[in-house]
Structure 1
Amino acid sequence: MSNLPSEPEFKQAYDELVSSLENSTLFEQKPDLRKCLKVVSVPERIIQFRVVWESDDGQINVNNGFRVQFNSTLGPYKGGLRFHPTVNLSILKFLGFEQIFKNALTGLAMGGAKGGCDFDSKGKSDNEIRKFCNSFMRELSRHIGPDTDVPAGDIGVGGREIGYLFGAYKRYRNEWSGILTGKGLSWGGSFIRPEATGYGLVYYVGHMIKHNNDGDYKGKRVAISGSGNVAQYAALKVIELGGIVISLSDSKGCLVATGDQGLTKEDIDEIAEVKLKRLALTDAFKKRPNLSQEGFKYIDGERPWKHCGKVDIALPSATQNEINGDEAKALVDAGCKYVAEGSNMGCEQEAIEVFEQNRRSSEKGTWYAPGKAANAGGVAVSGLEMAQNSSRIKWTSEDVDNKLAEIMKACFETCLKTGQEYSKDKENRLPSLVSGANIAGFIKVAEAMHNLGDWY
C-alpha cells in the first residue's frame, strides 16, 4: 500500500493487520492470499456529502458527512455512524477496515463499513439534533438498505439519534425496513443491544481467564477506561460476576478506587445519569465532598492506567489509541494479566508490542485481545437485530444474551486456534490473540473474495 501520511489512523490499522500476517506462517502455507492485500485495503466505495442544517437561532450550518462502504463480500455493509468533531476520512477508513474482519469473526453475514459526520452534539438542543439528523439522512438514505448497507450507532449516535435517523429514512423512502440497528425496543430494536459490546467484552475475557486456568472474575481488579455505553455495561457485568471495578474515565480525567471496594452498581447508575445529560465525570464525582473517604480519587486530565495500583484486567473502552507504550509498561508492572479492547484500536502499536513481548517472555505474561475480536459483541447483536427485523419476530432478552455468549465463545476459540495454527512460536502456552484475530478474519474474507472473482 502506498504511504498515507494524511491518513495515520488508517495506516496504523493496515500496518497492524499486515504485521500479524507477515509475522506468521500464513503466506508460507497460503502464498496466493498475499495478492488479496492490495484489493481488500481499498474501499469498494466512499460517499462524501454536505450536511446543511438550521440552528435554533436561524443560522445555516454546514458539516461533512461520510459513508465508507469498505467490503460487502460476506454480506451487506455493516458498521456504525459516528458524530464527533474529530471525524475525518482517515478515522472512518480505519474503523471500516477493522469492521470487515471484526464482522467476519462473528460468523454472521455482514460486510464492513463505517460512516459519520464532524458534527458536535454537545450544547445542541433536541430540535437542532433532529434537524441535523434529517439533513444527514436525506443524502445517506440514497445509499443504504436492508440488503445493501445497515448502519448503527457509535460515538455521538445513541438511541435519540437513531430514532431521528430512522424516522427520516421512513419518511424519505416511504418504507419500514431494518436499515438501522440500535433501534428502540418498541419499533424494531433488539433486547441486549445497548449492553452487547460491554457484555461481549467481559464474556471474551472470561474465556481468556478460563483457558489460562486462572479461576474466574471473583476478586479480580478490573481497570476500565471510558464512561459511555461500553464502559458502563462492561463494569456492570464485571460487578455481577464478582470482579472489582477500579476505574472509569472520560476526556477530562479519571476516577480511580483507592481501596478494596471498587465502584458499585449504584456508582455506575449515577455515572449513566450524568452521561445521559452529556456532562463530565467531574459533575458526578469530583464535587462529592467525601470522595476520598468513600475510597476514590479523581485525577484531572489523566487516563487511569498509571494510577490504579494492582491490576488484573485492563479494558480500554473509550476511543482509539488510549494506551501508549509507557502506560502498557505500567500495566505490566502492576501485574496485569489480561488486556482486551472495548474500544476500536484502543492500544497504540507500541503498547501492543509491550504486551506481546511480555506474553512471549514471561510465564505470567500479559495476554492481549484486540478490539476486532473482544468488542465484536456489539455488531454481533446488531446482526441478530437484522435477523429479527427480516423475520418480523422478536427474541427474548435471554435468547439474545445466550446467542451473544455463544458468538463470543466461538470468536475466542477461532482466535485461539488460528493463533496456534499459524504461529512461528508454537511452544508458547498463550498464543497471540491479535495474530489469531487478524489471520482468521483475513482468511475468511480473502477466500470469499477469491470465490467472487475480486482477486485472481
Structure 2
Amino acid sequence: MSAPALHPLFTSHFDEVIARNPGEKEFHQAVYEVMSSLSPIAGRVPEYAQWSIMQRICEPERQIIFRVPWTTDTGEVQINRGFRVEFNSALGPYKGGLRFHPSVNLSIIKFLGFEQVFKNSLTGMPIGGGKGGSDFDPKGRSDQEIMRFCQSFMTELYRHIGEYTDVPAGDIGVGGRELGYLFGQYKRITNSYESGVLTGKGLSWGGSQVRTEATGYGTVFFAQEMLKEKGESLDGKTVVVSGSGNVATYAVEKIHQFGGKVIAVSDSGGYVVDEDGIDLKLLQEIKEVQRGRLTDYAEAKGGAVRHVENGAIWDVACDVALPCATQNELSEEHAHALVKNGVQLVAEGANMPCVPGGVEVFREAGVLYAPGKASNAGGVATSALEMQQNASRDSWGFEETEARLEDIMRDIHRNCVETADEFDAPGDYVTGANLAGYIKVADAMVAQGVI
C-alpha cells in the first residue's frame, strides 16, 4: 500500500522540492506527508496552495553545516559534522532540538525541522521551527570526551543562536549532561547568563519542571483525549511502547497513572514482554543509571519476562501502540500485524516513526492514528513554558506546569478535531493536524510580506 496521492495542484510543487533537494529521502517523505493532506484547501482556499507560499515553507531560511573537531581520552583527533537548520521564524524564534546520533545527516535534520514548524504552530506558542545536531555518537564515550565534543560544537553554534533568535533543546543523544556542557560553553564564550538560549536545562540552573517528562506525558495526554472522543479511556488498556529512552519511559509512567498497562518496550537490541506490566523503577535504573540494555532488565526479572532479540515489538498484541523510538521504525508490514492483533489506537511519540504505507493501513482500518506533530508536541510546548519562566525570572511547580502541559495537549487535540471537521475529514487527525499547522504558518508568512 502506498501513501495517498497528491492533489494535481501539488504534484509539480513536490517535484520541485525533489529537484531542489536531491537524495534527501527523509525530507521528501515529510514534505509529501504534509502536501498529501492539503487537498481540501486546494478548492476551498486556493491561495494557501500557491507555490509562492509553499515554496517558502519548504525552503529553510538558513542551513548551517560546520566541522566539529575534538580529541578522545587517548589524544586522537576526531572530526564530526554539525548541523543547524533554521527553517521558519514566521511565528517566533527558531525552536527545536539537537540530535547526536551516527545517522544524522542534512536530510534528517531538514525533515525534523520541517515537522517542527507545524508542531510548534499547533502548540499555540510563539515559536518557529528549527532542528540541529551532529553525526557524533555519545554511546560508549566518557564524560570527558562528551564534554570536549559539546564544547567544540557550541564554539561554532553559539554565533547562530540566542533567546530571540534560535533556541535549541535536547533530542536523541542530547540529555541533561550534554545540555549542561553546551550551556556552560555558551555562557563562557558570550560572558552572559542567557538562560533562555537553551531549554531542557537542569532545574538548579534555569530548567523547568516536567520538561524531562513532557514528550512522553504529552503523547499519553493526547491519546487519552482521542479515546475520550470515542467515550473510552486508557484505563484497562494494554499498551506497547517502542523505545526505552526518555520519551518511552515517561509515556510508560503516565499510562500506568491512567490505569493502562504497558506490556512491552524495546531498544536497538530487541524488546521485552512483561505481561505483569513493565516495572518502571527497574527500567529507569537499568537505562538511566546503569546505562544498560533490556537484556539486563530480562535478567533482573528472571523467568517472568520474555526477551526477543532483534524482533519487531509490533508483533505483540495490544490495544494501544505508541512508537517512541525513531523515524520509520513502524513499517507497513508492522501496521498490518498491529491491525490483525486488534490495535485500536496509534499515537506517535517519536518524529515520523510510521512509514507512509503504514499510516494508510491504520487509516483504512479505522484505527485512531495521531501524527507526531500533534501527539508529541508536549516536549516543545514545555520548552516554550521554560522560555516563559526564564524571561520572567520565575519558576513554576511540577503540578502547575503539568496542568499547563495537559491544557496545551487538550487544545491541540481540539484544534485537530475541529479543523478536520471543518474540511470534511471527521476523525482524521493527519488532515486536521497538517491543515491547522499549515494555515497558521501560511497566514503569518503572507502578513509579513515576501521575506
Q: Map Cα deviations across residues 294-329 of structure 1 (whole Å, 9 max, x no partner).
A: 2x21100012111x23x1111000001111111111
Give SS of 2:36's match.
Answer: helix
Counterpart for residue 270 of structure 1: 282
- 2:346 equivalent in structure 1: 339
- Counterpart of 1:20 in structure 2 is 37
Letter in 2 for 1:447: D
Correspondences of 1:1-400 after superposition (within 5 Å): 1-3=16-18, 4-22=21-39, 25-35=40-50, 36-177=53-194, 178-214=196-232, 216-257=233-274, 259=275, 261-263=276-278, 267-276=279-288, 277-285=290-298, 287-288=299-300, 290-291=302-303, 294=304, 296-306=305-315, 308-309=316-317, 311-359=318-366, 366-400=367-401
Q: Are the counterparts in 1 of residues 17 and 28 from structure 2 also a CA contact under 8 Å?
A: no
How far is the alpha carbon of 1:117 from its aligned partner? 0.5
The CA distance in 1 between the partners of 2:258 and 2:391, in whole Å, is 34
Q: Tell me whether 1:454 sits opposite 2:450 in the alignment.
A: yes
Compute the displacement of 1:5 (Å): 4.6
Paired residues of 1:312 and 1:337 also in contact (CA < 8 A): yes
TM-score (ref. length: structure 2): 0.94
The alignment covers a number of residue pairs equal to 430
Pairwise CA RMSD: 1.1
In the TM superposition, what is the alpha-carbon distance from 1:271 to its structure 2 partner?
Answer: 1.7
Query: 1:126, 1:104 → 2: CA distance?
Result: 36
Deviation at 1:273, TM superposition (A): 2.2
Asked if the contact 1:225–1:303 (Cα under 8 Å) also holds between the matched residues in 2, the reply is: no
* Distance in structure 2 (CA, Å) of the matches to 1:269 and 1:304: 21
Change beyond 3 A, Cα 1:230–1:391: same
Report the residue type matching 2:380 in the other structure.
V
Mapped contact 2:17–2:58 kept (Cα < 8 A):
no
Q: Secondary structure at the match of 1:156?
A: coil
Amino acid at match of 1:188: G
Q: Hey, what does 1:443 align to over in structure 2? A: 439
Q: Give, in whole Å, the separation in 2 of the partners of 1:56 and 1:290.
A: 37
Mapped to 2, the partners of 1:197 and 1:413 lie a distance apart of: 18
Structure 1, residues 378-401: CA drift from partner, whole Å, max 9, x if none? 000000000000110001111100
CA contact (8 A) 2:324 2:348 kept: yes
For 2:262, give the aligned amino acid.
V
CA distance in 2, matches of 1:80, 1:339: 24
Gaps of 5+ in 2: 1-15
For 1:115, give the aligned amino acid. Answer: G
- Deviation for aligned residue 1:122: 1.3
CA distance in 1, matches of 2:300, 2:260: 25
CA distance in 1, matches of 2:230, 2:333: 26
Percent identical residues? 52
Give me the whole-angstrom Cα distance separating, in 2, the residues matched to 1:419 and 1:29. 14
Residue aligned with 1:290, SS: helix
* Amino acid of the structure 1 residue aligned with 2:374: A
Letter in 1 for 2:379: G
- Look up the match of 2:7: none
* CA shift digits 1:188-226 (9 cap, x unpaired): 000000000011111001111110112x22110111100
Taking the aligned partners of 1:42 and 1:289, their CA distance within structure 2 comes to 50
Please list every run of at least 4 consecutive aligned residues from structure 1 whose deviation after the TM superposition is greater than 3 angstroms. none
Distance in 1, matches of 2:163 and 2:354, equals 33
Which stretch has the larger CA shift, 77-86 or 324-333? 324-333
What is aligned with 1:363?
A: none
Listed one character per residue, the Cα deviations across residues 42-67 of structure 1 (whole Å, up to 9, x for unaligned) are 00000110001111101111100000
Q: 1:321 to 1:73 in 2, by over 3 A?
A: same
Q: Deviations over 1:345-375 (max 9, x none)?
A: 010000001011112xxxxxx1100000000
Code of the aligned partner of 2:92: G
One-letter code of the match for 1:237? Answer: K
Q: Secondary structure at the match of 2:365?
A: helix
Q: Distance in 1 between matches of 2:345 and 2:450?
A: 38
Displacement of 1:289 in angstroms is 7.0
Matched to 1:148, the amino acid is T
Give the whole-Å Cα distance in 2 for the aligned partners of 1:397 and 1:281. Answer: 30
Distance of 1:2 and 1:43 partners within structure 2: 12
